[in-house]
Structure 1
């Protein structure tokens, strides 16, 4: 009967892997289906726990859904949302942008290399938590899809973590277990030499090859027209306290207006057109610019905003339009002037759009031609795209309008930069206390996520949006797969059968095969569980063939860290899954070659390094 449970477990896991990779059914459905299959298996055919504590069943299978690692990841996603919502790391991203000498690819590579170095001396998870929002902001400024860089971030952190004793909890676990079995204590840099060689080989692949293999997957906002290339015509009225006062054109461009193309400067009745020779901006000027939505959003941020939320009406109406709406933060959205709209042929001020909807028009985008006039003088046409701002209720109220068509999913909140300091302080506190060991990372992350709400960095709706049900189900179901694999003896069966097949082979061949087996298993079991399983097997195998066990212990450490081929293989893979908009198959596609590359490199270099 024991063999029945083991082989049934193998069958369920095989079906699950095929379903995850093909994604013919949603990940959530597959995950829940796996759990249900195991629940039915052990309910209909009872199986005793190896420790004699009763029957293996629902309590053990569902324990993964209350796993601290699961809630750690969810809490870290909330913290990341808080940093994004407040724009807390925009400044850091700008400074990092200079590392590559203005070259976007060099900047992204520099961030990834720094991540790998930090991971050698810190636990991987806090490092990825620290660099994830920074890399996201750098990628956005470099006009690079997040899906091109998030998996490389996770992979370089794992590679860096395999170079020192404290780089990964797996390393410490193997060292401790080996010591308990009578082996000499492993010190900080005992396997750094071979670890660095493999990390450099894998790092070259992760930094320079991986981004070319990964899809440029757009966010929902980019897909519906919030992309980076679409230009809006906007106007910036220059008040006496505007930071642009005194700015001069250099080679026809105004350096203070980064990312914007100045179309015209209106001074009284006199318009200045390019190349703006000897033009110095003065209070009372109106600047007409062409800029993307992201650039205009940046111009609205902070205490040094270039213009307020009402660039059209603030001069004429004399209202305090810089203040955010009373019922929440400012939101930006895009709306199309509908055919037959009453707005056609009217200017923004004549349309009375603000009095009817409460929304303010920040920019106009017209497909057919570039407009060279003040935005307030433009007469609207059917098909014009309006960039509007307002409170959530005001923007959502546009759905009821027959004059404009709100582009669904285009609404996004302007970052609350005045709360950026609070969000950054909470984030750094979480990283510091978890990296130093003062608090477990689960406790620190959940506390930090909660603190963001009373600090005003997030509201409940924004925090809830950060949760990804795919992550929740994927982690819970993967732990439900690992538990019966260990309890029924399936994992040990695989290990012992492979070792038996290698009987009589040279130490180099055995070490290579052991590495490959562990590297495969670590992508389906947790890396710690794989390490615990194979450490005694590796030591006993070395003793049987009469060689020093230390190279085999290092083999377990390095191979157990090769969690590249599945998102469930390592916690950092799950952390980047949501920001990178990845699917299960993405990890299989780009992670499997890295596992094979590290294995081949170790198979060639390892025996030479250890003198086999």
Structure 2
């Protein structure tokens, strides 16, 4: 029991600090538990049976709640790829609505959708749309990104399928031999908290959020300068030149922000760094300075003449076997190159855009050099942000993670194509164009039928979710490759490890010891106060741990507290659900908070300043509501 408690403490520390990745911590936890209970089995003194077996520890992989969560991820991906949410988004951004009304409608819509859908893909869909709304309003995106995430979290606490956390707590009740939560059992308390929370999000939150400039704005000094690039030809006077005090003599009134050589990025100062043919100089300059250098050195600001041929060759390498089309494309590229000096085609204009790596992206885990990003997308990555911080050192060696922001320069046509495979979401330089509809009505019908059957109790949620996921694949709303990518391995491994720890805590008696210790400290305060303090403790942990791990680890403690107090265990289970969803005060507790950290350019302290009052508001509301509703 004590070894299990010590291991739990170590795992919590590793989850919070992320000294080791969450996936490796989870796998390591499973391995340690398997070895521990194999070499030192916990034996029931009365029956002589093992209290914790390998089957118990690995049962998480077949846990119905986890399977439901994974199936719902596939269903959500099918809805998005089929364009089933497009009409909703288009209605919310109707031109007849003012921009502020559109933002308000989107916030409420996200909360409603998150009650029935996994909120991560919902947030990913609306991030670029809200970016476009922020441009229309002439306000910083930081004013609208955090309300988007908080609305999704609040909506997720209103129904059983609103969040994976809710399903896991319900599953833990089954494991403990109790009745699971019904579909709308958490709805009364959840609606109260979500309603109050949305009032705060809409009326107060935009006023306390700071103005944060994005990467593009900082690099261009808020629009006073333009970002451009110089591809150094072999006969250029720049070849061999070195910077003096960070500036190049041949480029007066121009600031060189970065020198890209192949897949290597060199940041200033450029002391003793000689320019070579083929180097790409990313520059910032006024319109007058760019005009001057363009007139003095014609063609210097344009890509090499063979760029079109190289692109055609790239298409062939990427699987385009229609040689005629490839040659035609190459000829068109050449014709465009010839006409560049006379005026650029819109598709050939160089633009600077910010993009975000999506949770299901194929880019995750690899660096730019391994991906051959420039060759694959024909765009140049000139900056990477992680958790709103610019990563400067060895940019091409950084392994990409979900939520990373990439500052990308390329032709308009190429940047528009970046998000087609949903590896990246274009955050700026776009109007937030939505994908074309494909089987949208059928996908929506499958989802609504599955939710309806589960809500009415006709079939178990796990059955409805898995069948709906299979049907999404069958009707080609999503293919097998896309469905596989939609499965979040972080959720899978963290939940399985947390379930194993929870099983060990319960079966060794560690959860009961924690509950009895807490009860000994607060027994005289009464059930209502203990429930309120339990909510606050769980809400505090969910802001430093993942919400799923917090829910699974605290459910056995809550059930034991309920047993000692003589209270319905569902009361403490619902409390765990609601509190574990209160991931407002930090970016690490919930994935949507991490996803909007880059687009909103937030710091950690922004979440504390904006989210802590919301957490306290929800806690006070619950503390007043719970004693009346459950007659404590």
Question: Normalising by the residue count of structure 1, what TM-score does the alignment of the two structures yield?
Answer: 0.54
The structural deviation recorded for 1:429 is 0.9
Residues 79 and 449, structure 1, Cα contact 8 Å, conserved in 2: yes
Residues 108 and 138, structure 1, Cα contact 8 Å, conserved in 2: no
C-alpha offsets along residues 525-577 of structure 1, whole Å, 9 cap, x if unaligned?
A: 675885676467447636xxxxxx68x9757634542113569xxxxx87747
Provide the secondary structure at the position in 2 that maps to 1:47: coil
Q: Is 1:357 aligned to residue 330 of structure 2?
A: no
Residues 42 and 57, structure 1, Cα contact 8 Å, conserved in 2: yes
The structural deviation recorded for 1:502 is 2.8
Q: Is 1:498 aligned to residue 452 of structure 2?
A: no
Question: CA–CA distance in 1 between the matches of 2:53 and 2:65?
Answer: 21
Change (3 A) 1:460 1:605: closer
| Unaligned segments of structure 2, at least 5 residues | 135-140, 229-277, 282-296, 316-328, 334-338, 353-370, 382-407, 409-414, 423-433
Residues 71 and 469, structure 2, Cα contact 8 Å, conserved in 1: yes
What residue is the counterpart of 1:407 in the other structure?
Answer: 380
How well do the aligned residues superpose, as a CA RMSD in angstroms? 6.1
The structural deviation recorded for 1:345 is 3.9
Residues 101 and 107, structure 1, Cα contact 8 Å, conserved in 2: yes
364, 378, 381: which one aligns with 2:343:
378
C-alpha offsets along residues 456-481 of structure 1, whole Å, 9 cap, x if unaligned?
A: 55555544543443233222222222
Change (3 A) 1:90 1:10: same
Residues 374 and 380, structure 2, Cα contact 8 Å, conserved in 1: no
What residue is the counterpart of 2:392 in the other structure?
Answer: none
Question: CA–CA distance in 2 between the matches of 1:611 and 1:90?
Answer: 44
The structural deviation recorded for 1:93 is 0.9
Change (3 A) 1:430 1:53: farther
What residue is the counterpart of 2:40 in the other structure?
Answer: 45
Residues 518 and 530, structure 1, Cα contact 8 Å, conserved in 2: yes
472, 483, 490: which one aligns with 2:503:
483
C-alpha offsets along residues 480-537 of structure 1, whole Å, 9 cap, x if unaligned?
A: 2222121112222222222233334456544544554566688576758856764674
Q: Is 1:160 aligned to residue 158 of structure 2?
A: yes
What residue is the counterpart of 2:565 in the other structure?
Answer: 541
What residue is the counterpart of 2:133 in the other structure?
Answer: 142
Change (3 A) 1:482 1:591: farther
Change (3 A) 1:520 1:481: farther
52, 76, 79: which one aligns with 1:56:
52
Change (3 A) 1:12 1:206: farther
Question: CA–CA distance in 2 between the matches of 1:118 and 1:418?
Answer: 19
Question: CA–CA distance in 2 between the matches of 1:447 and 1:159?
Answer: 24
88, 93, 97: which one aligns with 2:89:
93
The structural deviation recorded for 1:92 is 2.2
Q: Is 1:432 aligned to residue 427 of structure 2?
A: no
Question: CA–CA distance in 1 between the matches of 2:62 and 2:185?
Answer: 36
Q: Is 1:12 aligned to residue 7 of structure 2?
A: yes
C-alpha offsets along residues 270-328 of structure 1, whole Å, 9 cap, x if unaligned?
A: xxxxxxxxxxxxxxxxxxxxxxxxxxxxxxxxxxxxxxxxxxxxxxxxxxxxxxxxxxx
The structural deviation recorded for 1:205 is 4.2
Provide the secondary structure at the position in 2 that maps to 1:412: coil
Q: Is 1:34 aligned to residue 40 of structure 2?
A: no
Question: CA–CA distance in 2 between the matches of 1:115 and 1:473?
Answer: 27
Which has the larger Rg? Answer: 1
Question: Normalising by the residue count of structure 2, what TM-score does the alignment of the two structures yield?
Answer: 0.53
Provide the secondary structure at the position in 2 that maps to 1:42: helix
Question: CA–CA distance in 2 between the matches of 1:96 and 1:554?
Answer: 37
Question: CA–CA distance in 2 between the matches of 1:224 and 1:74?
Answer: 40
The structural deviation recorded for 1:39 is 2.3
Question: CA–CA distance in 1 between the matches of 2:168 and 2:510?
Answer: 21
How many residue pairs end up in the alignment?
A: 453
Alignment of 1:268-307 (within 5 A): none
Residues 112 and 152, structure 1, Cα contact 8 Å, conserved in 2: no
Question: CA–CA distance in 1 between the matches of 2:224 and 2:105?
Answer: 26
C-alpha offsets along residues 344-364 of structure 1, whole Å, 9 cap, x if unaligned?
A: 849999957545533769x99
Residues 347 and 377, structure 1, Cα contact 8 Å, conserved in 2: no
Question: CA–CA distance in 1 between the matches of 2:210 and 2:501?
Answer: 28
Question: CA–CA distance in 2 between the matches of 1:197 and 1:472?
Answer: 31
Alignment of 1:116-127 (within 5 A): 116=111, 124-126=115-117
Change (3 A) 1:80 1:436: closer
Question: CA–CA distance in 1 between the matches of 2:41 and 2:559?
Answer: 30
Residues 116 and 160, structure 1, Cα contact 8 Å, conserved in 2: no
Change (3 A) 1:354 1:462: farther
Alignment of 1:310-459 (within 5 A): 345=299, 351=305, 354=308, 357-358=311-312, 377-378=342-343, 385=350, 406-407=379-380, 412=418, 414=420, 420-423=437-440, 425-437=442-454, 440-451=460-471, 455=475, 457-458=477-478
Question: CA–CA distance in 2 between the matches of 1:43 and 1:479?
Answer: 18
| Unaligned segments of structure 1, at least 5 residues | 1-5, 234-335, 365-373, 388-395, 543-548, 568-572
C-alpha offsets along residues 98-145 of structure 1, whole Å, 9 cap, x if unaligned?
A: 4994234x54443443565678xxxx4447489556644643543557
Residues 76 and 117, structure 2, Cα contact 8 Å, conserved in 1: no
Change (3 A) 1:516 1:347: closer
Residues 78 and 467, structure 1, Cα contact 8 Å, conserved in 2: yes
